[in-house]
Amino acid sequence: MSLSTDPTKTADSLQRTPDIDALILAFEGFIYICSQDHRIQYMNDKLRKRTGYDATGEYCYKILHGCDDVCPWCNNDRFFREQKPIRHQLKSPKDERWYDIINTPICNVDGSLSKQSLIMDITESYLAKEELVLLQTLISQSNDAIFIIDADTSAFIYGNDKACSNLGYSTAELLTRRVSDISASFVDMPSWHCHAARIRKQSRVFEAGYIRKDGSHIPVEVTASYVPLREKNFIVSVARDVSDRKLLEHELQRQAQSDYLTGLANRRHFIKRSGEEIVRTSRYRRPMSLLLLDIDCFKDINDTHGHHVGDIALQMFAAHCQEALREMDIIGRVGGEEFAIILPETDGDGAYEVAERLREFIAGQTMITEKGASVGLTVSIGLTTLAVGGEDNLDTLLRQADEALYRAKCSGRNRVCTFKG
């Protein structure tokens, strides 16, 4: 059969077109030509091998698509009416593969029209594209910030929507930044290159702090991997905002270290901090004092006014102590109505002045109960001092302060007594 895209050409002239057979052989896909009634007029060798035989004369929709009647892909009405090339992609119901098809109307030498189809199997590339679109969608909508970073320069190559919103930058702004702009950990390129080298050896999970555009900080947990690609090196970082987790950890730590009623350090945390302070004091040969305080006749308050009033009295006492002390001082509730205070950088005379001032301040306060009763507090205080260069431990200091406190109680209460070694 002789075909031509120009009805003025003859079959002989078409056959003499140079290299037409070579072009057909070079084409990697399938070629077929069918008439307006869908019968195949021509098919190339590749299509014959695909179908297993020469299907010339048979209906294209049966051979190519496995359909018993004209299918949407073979509906030629619009195609022959408009006589324009049409390109489309479809998934064949016969083999579930994707094809890219270019249909071109051609005019036969007898004036009739046929359809020429050039078909390329694009299944792998189509699925890869679908996977890429899916991946891009997942990355874009991820609840974690995802960055792609140039491993050599620390410049941002990509940041998803979450990355930009977390940092307060637009996409265009982020791509003009380097990691040092959002992290105080990398003040210069050597520190960045050291970091990149560690990730190159092994992917890392670490915690960091990011600096937002407005200067605020957010804590993040980062998973970083090294990716060499096309003679360039990248680091892919997935950063999760752990602000809520940090707040929870801080609250749990506070609860573990604090007395539930007064908010002061509990006995365990007071002992820990005091032990650290004694080590520091001894190392630098500085003075330090310890006060042990006990609210006088506290049982009478509970018995007379109830435990609720007693709890309020303890809270008021703790607040007054904190108000009177320095920020560097360490105070904790070490018993029911017993409190201890570490006074760093304070010798015996200085500690006595602090204790007397605190005792007088507490004695001058009055609490009015819900029933209108007036409740006053007094406190007895035992004092001891760690001598400069001394090697006493906390247990020793607490025992000494307890002896001084006992003397204060026995001497009439509401007074300060110093340990006499």
Q: Provide the pLDDT for residue 387.
A: 78
Structure tokens at 108: 């036969």
Calculate the CA 21 to chain-centre distance.
60
Element holding 34 (H helix, E strand): strand 30-35
Contact yes or no for 23/6 (Cβ under 8 A): no
Terminal CA-CA length for the chain: 124
Q: Other CB atoms closer than 10 Å to residue 275's CB: what's the count?
A: 14
Return the percentage of the chain with pLDDT > 70, whole number: 90
Assigned domain for 249 exists? no
State pLDDT tens for residues 356-388: 999 999 998 888 888 888 888 999 999 999 877
State pLDDT tens for residues 84-115: 888 888 887 777 888 888 888 888 888 888 88
Boundary residue ending a domain (77, 95, 123): 123
List the one residue out of 309, 319, 315, 294 whose CA is nearest residue 410: 294
Structure tokens at 59: 């209906």
Assigned domain for 391 exists? yes
List the one residue out of 354, 407, 402, 413 whose CA is nearest residue 379: 413
Contact yes or no for 43/52 (Cβ under 8 A): no
**3-state SS class at 101:** strand
- d(C-alpha 256, C-alpha 265), whole Å: 9
Same structural domain for residues 186 and 331? Answer: no
Query: With bands split at pLDDT 50, 70 and 90, how would you rate the model's confidence at 172?
Result: very high
The identity of residue 231, as a single letter, is E
Same structural domain for residues 189 and 323? Answer: no
CATH code, domain with 92? 3.30.450.20
Check whether 132 has a pLDDT greater than 70: no
Assigned domain for 26 exists? yes
CATH code, domain with 280? 3.30.70.270
Assigned domain for 135 exists? no
Contacts of 364 (CB under 8 A, 6+ apart): none
Specify the higher pLDDT residue, 343 or 20. 343
The identity of residue 376, as a single letter, is G
Residue with tokens 């056959």: 15
345-378 residues labelled b (16+ CB within 10 A) or e (exposed):
ebbbeebbebbeebbeebeeeebebeeeeebebe
Same structural domain for residues 195 and 287? Answer: no
Burial class (CB within 10 angstroms; exposed 0-12, middle 13-18, buried 19+) of 286? middle
When the pLDDT of each residue in the chain is averaged and rounded to a whole number, the result is: 86
Check whether 129 has a pLDDT greater than 80: no
- d(C-alpha 418, C-alpha 196), whole Å: 60
Same structural domain for residues 193 and 327? Answer: no
Assigned domain for 216 exists? yes
The number of distinct structural domains making up the chain is 3
Same structural domain for residues 266 and 171? Answer: no
Structure tokens at 336: 């029911």
Same structural domain for residues 173 and 113? Answer: no
Assigned domain for 361 exists? yes
Check whether 227 has a pLDDT greater than 50: yes
Same structural domain for residues 193 and 314? Answer: no
For residues 30, 31, 34, 40, the Cα torsion angle rounded to the nearest 10 degrees is: -60
Same structural domain for residues 263 and 404? Answer: yes
Query: With bands split at pLDDT 50, 70 and 90, how would you rate the model's confidence at 121?
Result: confident
> Where in the sequence is the domain holding 385, given as residue range(s)?
258-418
Phi, psi of 25, deg, nearest 5: -70, -35
State pLDDT tens for residues 380-403: 999 999 877 666 788 999 999 999
State pLDDT tens for residues 229-264: 878 899 999 999 999 998 988 888 888 899 999 999
Q: Other CB atoms closer than 10 Å to residue 89's CB: what's the count?
A: 11
Boundary residue ending a domain (244, 279, 294): 244
**3-state SS class at 296:** coil
Return the percentage of the chain with pLDDT > 90, whole number: 43
State pLDDT tens for residues 173-201: 999 999 988 987 776 788 899 989 999 99
Same structural domain for residues 212 and 343? Answer: no
Burial class (CB within 10 angstroms; exposed 0-12, middle 13-18, buried 19+) of 380? buried
- d(C-alpha 178, C-alpha 180), whole Å: 5
Boundary residue ending a domain (123, 158, 186): 123
* HSE toward the beta carbon, residue 148, CA cutoff 13 A: 12
Assigned domain for 129 exists? no
Q: Provide the pLDDT for residue 219.
A: 93
Strand pairing report for 379-386 and 416-418:
parallel
Q: Provide the pLDDT for residue 229.
A: 82
Q: Provide the pLDDT for residue 15.
A: 44
Same structural domain for residues 276 and 395? Answer: yes
Same structural domain for residues 401 and 265? Answer: yes
Render 306-353 in DSSP notation, one character per residue: -HHHHHHHHHHHHHHHHHHS-TT-EEEE-SSSEEEEEEET--HHHHHH
Which residues of 171-250 form beta strands (DSSP E)? 204-211, 217-229, 232-241
Assigned domain for 233 exists? yes
Same structural domain for residues 348 and 388? Answer: yes
Contact yes or no for 291/381 (Cβ under 8 A): yes
Provide the whole-model pTM: 0.55
Q: Other CB atoms closer than 10 Å to residue 198's CB: what's the count?
A: 14
Contact yes or no for 339/322 (Cβ under 8 A): no
Q: What is the average pLDDT across 35-64?
A: 87
